[in-house]
Structure 1
Amino acid sequence: MFILMPHSNSSWIFLGVLMALGLLCALAPPARATQVILRGAWMMAPARSIAPQPPDAVATQALRVFDTHGLVHLPRGSHGTWVRLLPAAGTWPAGQWMLVIDQPGLGVVDLHAPGQAPQRQALEDLDQGALHTPGQLAFRLENLRGDAPLWLFFQPNPWLGSSMHFALRTPQAWAQQANGWLAFVSSALTVLVVMSLMGLWFGMLLRDRAYLLYAVYVLAYALLSAVSMGYAFHPLQLGWVARDPAMVARVAGGIAGAASILFAARFADLYRHLPWSRRLVQVLAGLFIAIVLLSLAPWAAPRALGGWLQNPVVVLAGPSVLILLILAWSRGSRYAGFFLLGWSPLVVLTVCDSLQSFDLLQSWMWLQRASLAAAAFEALVLIAGLADRTLAARRDHRQALHRAEVDALTGTLNRGALLTHLQEMLELESGPLSVLFVDLDHFKRLNDHAGHQAGDQALVALVRTMRLELREDDLLGRYGGEEFMVLLPGQSLSQALGVAERLLQAVRLRRLATSVDLPGLTVSIGAAEAQPGESLPRLLGRADQAMYAAKHNGRDQVQADPLPQRQPLQG
């Protein structure tokens, strides 16, 4: 599976193009062909009845006019809300038309049209014959009479208000716009679900809670979007959601809010870059969790409180977390930058959408579409950031292992790594195995006369010289001080002696001298071949004895240990 990693310019370009295409699809205005301009007004229903009837002339004096070119926020009190629609031209056009309500919110809507039977619809209606697409209700109208008003009754819904838009379109224009919108919503929600499942899988696989918080956040946001747009009912037909969609929406929103804040704190490492932010993060996440608990309460009062708190908490938490991310990014948090790139468009749009419940930004009818596009874009950016974070952690782990196994001066294996590899080779017993102990002659004299820096340079030069004579499968490491070990898998003792002679000759030719007052340095080498079932200390002891024999016999030579039965040196 290809996971986008925004390390290269092409990756950033791809993300930018993806965002641009998504926003273009989301922000494309609804079809306005042959659309009728309307005049609208609304009022709270004066009294609740089982079969409400349009208000009389006296009651209509309480109507409040609104601009149908933008959104209107309709409160849904204890008795419901009436909306009156009239043609701006004075009379209704002939023929068939579709009255479309964009973003109607949850709850039942009744249409009373002159000369027609009342019609009833709701986003949460599971009736397969209902004329609505995600985020829209549509009523079919035929042969409207003169200038008689259309009356819409929004039944009481104390949990969720909504900012909606009314339009009268031809059936063809409505179908074209509805099909495009359905395709876009399906694509965006598919992206969210797939990304959340990827996060869940990698979270369990890597045991990383950041992935799990990401999965919970994205999946909860997808559920919230599906419920608020009616997608959970058509085409998904989720009956368990339809039983109490307002409660499900609030719970999903609360979980999404809490998970997003906790994910941001962990992903961007806020507590390390901003230690004082821990309490603020806990408070903000706690507010969303409180909304969840209130919404699950069996009593009406706490559930109403949970619904009332949702928008103010979103307006408070969104900018607060953005400020924390900006501060963390300014202090060196690379992944705060990732989060800002992905999350900023969505949180700004979400806050703006919440502000519409306070009768603000009512001309921004594209917010819902843009929010869904931004959510899909954010899911892609954050999964890429998580992948980058995981690869960086693995890279750091490999580097730490490398530092733990490698000698800092020479770049060869250190003593611990050498012994580990040798023990593994002895246990495998996959063929001949020989060991060379290489000691730099007169190294102490070099340090005393030319200094330790000269000694370090000589060790580095020795390693460079030996590597040129060794195979890729051979392992070279620093055993300690000026003593090195060479592991020769697949090499018998006679073959190992040939390698040792080449090393001697290479060092002689290189003349590892760092001072004109000193002769060229040489090496003494001891060689031993592992015997079947031989222990690591016994093999090392024999190779070490052979090396000391080479030194005792005059240095600058190779000695083999011919007595595998000999006991290793003690002490």
Structure 2
Amino acid sequence: MKQGWWSLLLLLALLPTMDVRGENIARIDRIQPLALEQQAGQRAGLFSERRFDDGGATVRVIGNGEWRLEPTPGVREPLLVFYHPYTARVTVLDEAEGTPRRRDIFSADLDPQYSRRALVFPLQGDGPVYVKVEGARYPLHVSVESGPSYAVADLWHVRLVLPAIGVVLGVSLAVLLFWAVLRERVYLLYAGAMLFQLLYALCSYGEAYAWPGLSLLARFGAQGIWGTGTLATILLVYLWLDYAGLRRVAPRLAWLVRVVGAYGCGLTLLLLLLPWPADKAWFPDIANALFLLTNAIALVTLVVAWRRGQRHAAYVLIAWVPLLVFTMTRALRFSAGERAEPWLEYGLPWVLAFTAVVLALGLADRMLTFRRERDRAKAHAERDGLTGVLNRGGIEHRLDWALIERQREGIPVSLLFIDLDHFKQVNDRHGHALGDACLRAVTRVISQRFQYGDQLGRLGGEEFVLVLAGVELPAAVRFGEEVGERIRRDCASVEGVPVGVTASIGAAHARDGDTVTSLIARADHAMYAAKRAGGDRVVGEDALSVPSHTTKAPEGAPVD
């Protein structure tokens, strides 16, 4: 995470050195009277009517209306460049050429050798140029550039922007594949939100209309950009709700985010798509107001969720706040008629890539958290609460898996059925608390001394089974003898009370066609043979009449 921050800061520090933009305009004069511009309703984002005074030699921004530009003489292969035209339509009349040229970022006939971050008009001479601007919502930066210099700068633009686009696109498609397999909604919301954020950025830069397939969006014009941005905001709202668990941690604030960000933006998007009202000039101001309000409420909600221990809200804040700052800064600078500095122009796509990567890391952490919770729940469901070893369901599942491996890989499987001798007398004489301590002592002996804790299970009462994968029956019998000897020695006294715990053990070996039930039944049968022989011994299923311990019980000894 820290390396990602340092890489981003290094990139932003280097960006100011990449600016090769020049002005090369001696004078800008307004032709259209100011009153006509006021009637046209020049607006800039959330700001009220904006006036553009006559420029003179110091002003390099122009708004809606007609202008007369005088390029500085002597510029090599001059190009008249309008940066970040967004929805503006620009018509240029070069007296040396004599034919008006009208262009916007939606035009299909833009010169393919340049990117669409600007509208480029080659000039034929040093004479005055007449410009008409229509539909501009932000003041346009205008400059006369040397053709070779602009080509170098534009190549830098492409080289800097394309890798960021590739990062966002690649990560989003990878997460979309996760959704296709896992079918968890948060992955689909992530992919949708990031892809529509990327599409909105590409439409704003104009690059989307040069891509195969996406060029169809040009027919929607500015409304396509507005609709894409609104849909991206709606998807982000639902992503934050699911990703950071806001409904659970801060339900009231989450409801407010959903109402304003999802329902409010959804209603404006519906009105944008409907044929009525026909005039859509109201949409950007309303959409921007909802965007600001949604982000403010979401920011407060995420901070509250983070303070309440929701760690994934912190991922959202780390990823999203830089993108929000860049987006708002860019909009404010354009609205104020200020130029987009290189750190802002190129920082935005890279911050979007940073957002995509951090959120993807958060998804991985979220998946890891859910897996740990699942494993804890599974372990709790499979473990015996008293002894900590596997319960009946857990050990039967392990044995079933071992039988599957035997059938598939030919790995031998043996089973020891362990029953403590005369355990009822321990409970009757010393109480159930000491009896429970004896059970824990027995499981401790088997688990720690023989390192088979994950293969030992308690069927109930004082009955245990031990699954021995990769062990043939003779070796299982010898292993059972060692287990019995350890129990006899280490459990003779428990918590300072002499109890003399011993065990009768039956050993069975898996055969073709065996099931969990049949294998346990044969081992249980061998165990009862050991008890009938006097207990404290091991009996294999292949030699039920031959006890493995030299001590024999007298005739008629009770069996329990």
Deviations 1:341-370 (A, max 9, x none): 11111112223334456x448365454433
Mapped pair 1:230 → 2:206: yes
CA distance in 2, matches of 1:438, 1:119: 94
Distance 1:68 1:225 in 2: 33
Distance 2:111 2:337 in 1: 34
Deviation, 1:213, is: 0.9
Instruction: Indicate yes or no: 2:126 matched with 1:144.
Output: yes
Partner of 1:106: 87
* 1:125-204 to 2 correspondences below 5 Å: 125-127=107-109, 129=111, 132-145=114-127, 148=128, 150-155=129-134, 157=135, 161-204=137-180
Query: In 1, Cα distance between the equivalents of 2:413 and 2:52?
Result: 97
What whole-Å deviation, never above 9, does each CA across 1:6-34 have from its counterpart, x for those lacking one? xxxxxx133123322443466655214x6
Does structure 2 conserve the Cα–Cα contact (< 8 Å) formed by 1:434 and 1:530? yes
Check conservation: 1:469, 1:502, Cα contact below 8 A: no
Contact 2:383–2:390 (Cα < 8 Å) also in 1: yes
| 2:537 partner letter | Q
Distance 1:213 1:199, change over 3 A: same
Q: Aligned in 2, Cα 1:124/1:559: closer, same or farther, shift over 3 Å?
A: same
Q: Which runs of 5+ in 2 are unaligned?
A: 38-50, 545-560
SS in structure 1 at match of 2:415: strand
The amino acid across from 2:250 in the alignment is L
2:382 maps to 1:405: yes
- 1:373 is aligned to 350
Instruction: Kindly state the Cα deviation for residue 425 of structure 1 after the two structures are TM-superposed.
Output: 5.2
Pair 1:324–1:431, CA change in 2 (3 A): closer
For 2:56 and 2:346, how far apart are their aligned partners in 1?
21
AA in 2 matched with 1:225: A
Identity of aligned residues (%): 31
Which residue of the partner structure matches residue 417 of structure 2? Answer: 437
Which residue type is aligned with residue 321 of structure 1?
A: A
Aligned to 1:58: none
The letter for the 1-side match of 2:66 is: W
Q: Which deviations, in whole Å up to 9, do the C-alpha atoms of 1:481-533 show, x marking residues without a partner?
A: 33211223455544432221111222234345224441543222233445655
Cα displacement string for residues 74-96 of structure 1 (whole angstroms, at most 9, x for unaligned residues): 3x5xxxx2244457xxx645654
Q: Is the CA contact 1:251–1:291 (under 8 Å) kept in the aligned structure 2?
A: no
Secondary structure, counterpart of 2:85 in structure 1: coil
SS at match of 2:123: strand
Q: 2:478 is matched by which residue type in structure 1?
A: G
Q: How do 1:58-97 and structure 2 match up within 5 A?
A: 64-65=53-54, 72=61, 74=63, 81-85=65-69, 92-93=73-74, 95-97=76-78
Q: For 1:242, which of 207, 215, 218 is the aligned residue?
A: 218
Residue 23 (1) aligns with residue 3 (2): no
- Deviation of 1:237 after TM superposition, in Å, equals 7.8
CA–CA separation in structure 2 for the residues paired with 1:67 and 1:522: 105
Distance 1:529 1:469, change over 3 A: farther
Distance 1:215 1:178 in 2: 30
State which drifts further: 268-277 or 21-30. Answer: 21-30
Report the residue type matching 1:167 in the other structure. Answer: S
Number of residue equivalences: 524
1:127 partner amino acid:
D
Distance 1:276 1:232 in 2: 38
Counterparts of 1:190 and 1:226, CA distance in 2: 12
Q: Can you give the 5+ residue segments of structure 1 that lack an aligned partner in the other structure?
A: 1-11, 49-61, 565-571
- The answer for the alignment partner of 1:6 in structure 2 is none
C-alpha displacement at 1:257, in angstroms? 0.7
- Name the structure 1 match of 2:481: 501
Alpha-carbon distance change, 14 to 401 in structure 1, aligned in 2, over 3 angstroms: same
Q: CA deviation at 1:228?
A: 1.5
Instruction: Report the TM-score when normalising by structure 1.
Output: 0.80
Superposed CA deviations along residues 180-213 of structure 1, whole A, max 9, x for unmatched, are 0122222222222222212221111110111111
Paired residues of 1:35 and 1:168 also in contact (CA < 8 A): yes
- SS of the residue aligned with 1:304? coil
Q: Which moved more, 1:453-462 or 1:192-201?
A: 453-462
Matches within 5 A, 1:92-491: 92-93=73-74, 95-117=76-98, 118-127=100-109, 129=111, 132-145=114-127, 148=128, 150-155=129-134, 157=135, 161-234=137-210, 238-283=214-259, 284-299=261-276, 301=278, 303-356=280-333, 359-360=335-336, 362=338, 365-366=341-342, 367-423=344-400, 433-443=413-423, 455-467=435-447, 470=450, 475-489=455-469, 491=471
How far, CA to CA, are the matches of 1:276 and 1:45 in structure 2? 49
- The 1-side partners of 2:492 and 2:34 are apart by 100
- Does the C-alpha gap of structure 1 residues 45 and 198 become closer, same or farther in structure 2, counting only changes over 3 Å? farther
Give distance in 2, aligned partners of 1:300 and 1:311: 19
- 8 Å CA contact retained: 1:38, 1:68: yes
Question: Residue in 1 aligned with 2:42?
Answer: none
AA in 2 matched with 1:64: D
TM-score by length of 2: 0.82
Code of the residue aligned with 2:329 in structure 1: it is C
Residue identity in the other structure for 1:138: V
What CA deviation, in whole Å up to 9, does each residue of 1:460-487 have, x standing for no partner?
4423432466586993212223321122
Q: Which moved more, 1:170-179 or 1:231-240?
A: 231-240
**Structure 2 CA distance for partners of 1:191 and 1:327, relative to 1, 3 Å:** same
CA distance in 2, matches of 1:514, 1:369: 73
What letter corresponds to residue 232 of structure 2 in structure 1?
A: A
Give the distance between the partners of 1:512 and 1:250, measured in 2 at CA: 81
Deviation at 1:103, TM superposition (A): 0.6
Closer/same/farther in 2, CA of residues 131 and 546 from structure 1, 3 Å limit: closer
Post-superposition CA distance 1:391-440 (Å, at most 9, x none): 32223223322222233444422111222343455676657654322123
- Matched residue, 1:36: 24
Contact 1:107 1:124 in 2 (8 A): no
